[in-house]
Structure 1
Amino acid sequence: MKQFDLDNSHLAPNRYYDRHFDQEAVKILPGEYFATRDNTMIVTVLGSCVSVCLRDAKMRIGGMNHFLLPNDNSGTSDILGDSARYGGYAMEILINHLLKLGARRNSLEAKIFGGGNVLRGITAINIGERNAEFVLEYLQTEHIPVVASDLLDNYPRKVYFFPASGKVFVRKIKSMHNSTIMDRESEYRMRIRNAPLVGEVELFGD
């Protein structure tokens, strides 16, 4: 099988200096991820999407992704079907990048967030619940322990991940002044539904 080359188009391009935390930071949007060996804070805002913060604590290498499952057909419960391939790809590309940076696969631990019921008009489909169910099953199957989580409910979250220390701060957004989060996730959801399924990813070894 051909060795997988990292697709840099999914790396978070939005770098900035966070004055509150007094350090360099990157912001990831739906469909993006970021992995680093540096003391760089990773930030994202989640509605029904989920993010997984993965880290090798001993090597102090970590990263975060931001994704959802595109198939929202009512009555669909097979999270191992075609829809889950997008979630699998989001997980595998992050893991692959961490391994390239020097992380060890059997030392990875996860903190997971998101899956809120926030998208208008499709609450009955439980997209957030399906995303949370997928990522929990994926991590269990891959024997990656979940050491912290904040999933489901009906509000968005802003997540701050510090890969060097492993700390995560979560701010629950109980009151929204605009629809930016929902609009961004709805656009992302439609984009990946209309795109061809991604290919398989070959993971690097330990």
Structure 2
Amino acid sequence: MRIETIGRFKRVILSPGEYHAATDATVISTLLGSCIAACLYDQTNKIIGMNHFLLSNRRYSRDLPIYASEAGRYGIHAMELLINEMLDKGADRRFLKAKVFGGATIIMNRESAGNFVCVSDVNCRFIREFLSNEGIPLVAEDLGKQHGRVIHFSNGDFSVYMRKIARNRSTRLAQRDRDCWQQAIEVQEKTIPVVDIWR
């Protein structure tokens, strides 16, 4: 996990296997391919959280219930770590909502034919089933397809800024990402009041 700061604002950049929850003026960012990022938020208590996980087997039987698989156990662990971190910071599980991204098929793989599905399909299926089973409303998603994504999740207005990554990546991507998360910070400046720590 890397952290960048601009004044009182910070940007947390997640790598695979990481998660972060925030109550302050924060943008959480990550780069996704086949992985999933679940962006959870409690609008009432002004808390956000994001994880970045991958169910790692190459393929799974279409008939195997996700929750009974090794992938399901790993996904549940990744989601519960994030949810517990948010609850520790004051979130209320009843108010949690989700926006989810990722699960791209970056490398076309014909081995997913027949009774098997590839990891990207399983990732997408898992996150939808988990949220449904836990009663967490899924308010937005961009899953599957054949492109990567860079996402930035803002605690100002709970927006997720997403950029698709084409196979031929431009050299200007880093600057575009910086512009995107700075725009998110400007929104936070208007929606998150400055706290006087000397009171």
- TMscore range, shorter length: 0.7 to 0.9
**Cα-Cα RMSD:** 2.2
Task: Report the Cα offset of residue 174 of structure 1.
Answer: 1.4
Which runs of no fewer than 5 residues in structure 1 stay unpaired? 1-12, 179-206
| Equivalence for 2:72 | 84
- 1:155, 1:128 → 2: CA distance? 12
Contact map agreement 1:61 1:164 (CA 8 A) in 2: no
- 1:107, 1:151 → 2: CA distance? 23
Superposed, which structure 2 residues align to 1:82-161 within 5 Å? Answer: 82-119=70-107, 124=112, 125-161=117-153
Q: What is the aligned-residue identity percentage? A: 38
Under a length normalisation based on structure 1, what TM-score does the superposition of the two structures give? 0.73
Deviations 1:92-120 (A, max 9, x none): 00000000000000100000000000146
* Between structures 1 and 2, the one with greater strand share: 2
| Equivalence for 1:191 | none
Task: Report the Cα offset of residue 18 of structure 1.
Answer: 6.7
- 1:74, 1:62 → 2: CA distance? 32
Task: Report the Cα offset of residue 74 of structure 1.
Answer: 4.6
Contact map agreement 2:60 2:119 (CA 8 A) in 1: no
User: Which structure: larger Rg?
Assistant: 2
CA 74–60 in structure 1, closer or farther in 2 if over 3 Å, else same: closer
Task: Report the Cα offset of residue 23 of structure 1.
Answer: 4.2
Contact map agreement 1:36 1:62 (CA 8 A) in 2: yes
What letter is aligned with 1:65? N
- 1:89, 1:119 → 2: CA distance? 27
Deviations 1:46-105 (A, max 9, x none): 000000000000111010000011223453543112221110000000000000000000
Contact map agreement 2:59 2:118 (CA 8 A) in 1: no
Give the match's secondary structure for 1:93: helix
Runs (4+) off by over 6 Å: none
What letter is aligned with 2:66? I
Superposed, which structure 2 residues align to 1:1-206 within 5 Å? Answer: 13-17=1-5, 23-75=9-61, 77-80=64-67, 81-119=69-107, 124=112, 125-177=117-169
Aligned length: 164
Under a length normalisation based on structure 2, what TM-score does the superposition of the two structures give? 0.76
* Between structures 1 and 2, the one with greater helix share: 2
- 1:36, 1:72 → 2: CA distance? 33
